Structure 1
Amino acid sequence: MKSHLLFPLLLTTLGCSAKEPQREIIPPAQYEAQDAEVEKMRERLLRENPERFEARTLEHQGRTVRYRWFAPEKADKPLPLVIVLHGSSGKGSDNRSQLLAGTGALGAGVWATPERQKDHACFVMAPQCPPGEMWTLTASWTSPVHPLSPKPAPALTDLMALLDDRLKTGEIDPKRVYLVGASMGGYGTFDWLVRQPERFAAGIPICGGMPEGQAEKLKEVPLWIFHGEDDSIVPVEESRRAFSQISAAGGPVRYSEFKDGGHQISVHAWIDPKVAAWLFSQRR
């Protein structure tokens, strides 16, 4: 598949000041026109992901951390790392569902395609949340507030150890570690960024929510937040509130809302080359 199939969607300007809050509304006519191409890419990655990503595990404090790993063929210097946190449909112990279920095929797979790697060579890590757990200790996604739990969820503690382990190899550029995720993964992205903002060059939380009162901790982390206006799973107010609070704190945040969009809008963000260009331009 040629690179033009990773098509531009979002009409934004990458040259704006990193500290200037940016908000945009994406009309249905703009993103729905790409639905057929999105589906083609999804079907392609359902076939390619299991072979492209190596299945690995890490033992940590008596727990088995399952993850998929993609490494570029040629990595003669430290390269960026993209960590992809899946939604609830990817949970399990098969070390496979995070690449296939829900929006996971695109969420993880798009970063490792030859056309994306041509422009943005990077490692990709797709961990799997164990069954019955979440990336965060959020009690309810529809709750009006989400206080930060005193300790991270066990699944997130595992990921912190996993990142430590991968950084020890020296193959990853520690100044270009990126964290992205949708739905449960969007919550996990916010939670991890709040707890360890110094570890990440940028983040993309989609259809998620930020722990309440934590915006100050994100004022130095470039973020691009996405949400669908009519999301019936995670209220759009979650992302609107995060954008408002981070903007008020002076953080480098941008927000894109899909007019009339539902919970599955992450696929449109993942395949957009402008989103990738923005992400990989960020450094600590």
Structure 2
Amino acid sequence: MKKISLIFILCLMILSVKAQDLTKFKKENFIVGADTLKYRILYPENFDATKKYPVVFFLHGRGESGNDNQKQLTHGSKMFLTDDFRQNFPSIVIFSQCAEESYWSNVEIEEINSKRFFTFQKGGEPTKTMSLLLKLTDQELNKPYTDKSRIYVGGLSMGGMGTFEILRRKPKTFAAAFAICGGDNIKNVKKYQNVPLWIFHGGLDDVVNPQLSYSIFRELRSLGHEPKYTIYPKANHNSWDSAFAEPNLLPWLFGNKK
């Protein structure tokens, strides 16, 4: 019984440490008129406002939408809390939360026979949440401690779509980006063709067709660019697990500078 009790206590301690780690992402609200964008922000260890830091924006998937300012940390946040990241890539990391009634990108979604079909718009006005995110990006760019030459964005699923969306709306802002199981209208690709990109997708994805990512990759190549493209043949929709485990993802991302 003592052994079982010790194991139970140890498990609780591990869970407590993990939960405590997420509190390093400070809760914030970005308010414009009657609209609010909730977000969590992680500052570097020993943050010094007189220094310049890179900024990473991370966009979550549909399942993490809401207004609790918590669920958006479900996937990807721990990647930025490791000792390796904190020591080697001191930066500001922002996880915004998309409202349930909104979406990161301008896309129509239709479900037929349990299959989802995505129709991405070319141009058009941003959604309310994307509009708020664009304004939050501007706010962060104007902070005296922001290194404007090292602004990055990445996301998964709906957030992968949002990554392409914000790139086309602010193509001159980002030094590099990564998109996991996302998609876009290929007619938008030309707008962000000069941004270094790493595109990921699961070959067995039955939620977001991998063809959507491949079409962007193919269009970029036709425009004379060579984005990084990784397909995981046996992965379904949660290809982000494999993408986050890529040892070169963060070194590649931070290795780009405008």
Band the TM-score falls in, shorter-chain normalisation: 0.7 to 0.9
Distance in 2 (CA, whole Å) between partners of 1:271 and 1:149 is: 34
Distance in 2 (CA, whole Å) between partners of 1:174 and 1:229 is: 35
Does residue 213 of structure 1 match 2:182?
no
1:250 deviation in Å? 1.8
Letter in 2 for 1:51: T
The match for 1:50 is: 22
The match for 1:134 is: 103
Does residue 277 of structure 1 match 2:251?
yes
The match for 1:67 is: 39
For 1:83, what is the secondary structure of its paired residue?
strand
Distance verdict in 2 for CA 1:236–1:194, change over 3 Å? same
Distance in 1 (CA, whole Å) between partners of 2:125 and 2:21 is: 33
Matches within 5 A, 1:153-164: 153-164=127-138
Distance verdict in 2 for CA 1:48–1:274, change over 3 Å? farther
1:144 deviation in Å? 6.3
Large movers: runs of 4+ above 4 Å: 43-46
- Which whole-Å deviations, capped at 9, do the CAs of 1:78-126 have from their partners, x for residues lacking one? 11111100001111111001112xxx2xx12312322211111111000
Letter in 2 for 1:126: F
Distance in 1 (CA, whole Å) between partners of 2:135 and 2:126 is: 12
The match for 1:120 is: 89
The match for 1:171 is: 145
Does residue 195 of structure 1 match 2:169?
yes
Distance verdict in 2 for CA 1:184–1:155, change over 3 Å? same
1:45 deviation in Å? 8.4
Contact preservation (8 Å) 1:85, 1:181: yes
For 1:213, what is the secondary structure of its paired residue?
helix
Distance in 2 (CA, whole Å) between partners of 1:253 and 1:44 is: 40
For 1:98, what is the secondary structure of its paired residue?
helix
Structure having the higher strand fraction is 2
Contact preservation (8 Å) 2:201, 2:231: yes
Contact preservation (8 Å) 2:168, 2:191: yes
Contact preservation (8 Å) 2:108, 2:119: no
In the superposition, the TM-score normalised over structure 2's length comes to: 0.87
Letter in 2 for 1:119: N
Distance verdict in 2 for CA 1:251–1:217, change over 3 Å? farther
Which has the higher Rg, Structure 1 or Structure 2? 2
Unaligned stretches of 5+ residues in structure 2: 1-14, 111-115
Distance in 1 (CA, whole Å) between partners of 2:191 and 2:62 is: 26
Does residue 89 of structure 1 match 2:63?
yes
Over the residues paired in the alignment, what is the CA RMSD in angstroms? Answer: 1.9
**Which moves more between the two structures, 159-168 or 182-191?**
159-168
**Which moves more between the two structures, 260-269 or 71-80?**
71-80
The match for 2:80 is: 111
Unaligned stretches of 5+ residues in structure 1: 1-42
Paired residue total: 238
Letter in 2 for 1:224: W
1:219 deviation in Å? 1.9
Distance verdict in 2 for CA 1:64–1:145, change over 3 Å? closer
Contact preservation (8 Å) 2:109, 2:119: no
